[in-house]
Amino acid sequence: MAKPKLKEHLINRDWCKGCGICVELCPKNVLELDNENKAVAARPVDCICCKMCELRCPDLAIEVITEDDK
């Protein structure tokens, strides 16, 4: 199976509460909290699309969209 290719991180800023779970548990250190304490994809090129941030987000606020996703 080909490696999934990242299209974008969809982050719902109204739902994100800035708990930092996605930031601290990302295996590739892709995400950061910005000055409003919301998650942002600071280094999207490093993303391996494991989607652990999406699966672990307590606020359903982040989605990892890959090229394969319709």
Partner 1 sequence: MAIKDYIRERFFPHLWCSGCGHGMVLNALLRAIEALDIHKSDIVMVSGIGCSSRISGYVDFHTMHTIHGRALAFATGVKMSRPELNLIVPMGDGDALAIGGNHFIHTARRNIDMTAIIMNNRIYGMTGGQYSPLSGFGTMATTAPYSNIDHDFDVVELAKAAGASFVARSTTYHVQQLTNILKAAILHKGFSAVEVLSQCPEYFGRKNKMGTPADMLEYYKENTTTIGSKKKQENPDLLERGIFVQNDIPEYCSEYDKIIEQAKKTSGGKTK
Binding residues for partner 1, rule: CB under 8 A, are 14-15, 17-21, 23-25, 52, 55-61
Distance in Å, CB of 11 to partner 1, minimum: 13
Instruction: Report, in Å, the least distance between residue 47 CB and partner 1.
Output: 18
In this structure, is the dihedral angle defined by the CA atoms of residues 21, 22, 25 and 31, taken in order, positive or negative? negative
Instruction: Kindly tell me which of 5 and 20 has the beta carbon lying closer to partner 1.
Output: 20
Phi-psi group of 4: left, alpha or beta (phi > 0 → left; psi -120 to 50 → alpha; rest → beta): beta
Minimum CB distance to partner 1 smaller for 41 or for 45: 41
- Closest separation between CB of residue 3 and partner 1, Å? 19
Q: How far is CA 45 from CA 14, 27, 36, 39, 68, in A?
A: 25, 13, 23, 16, 17
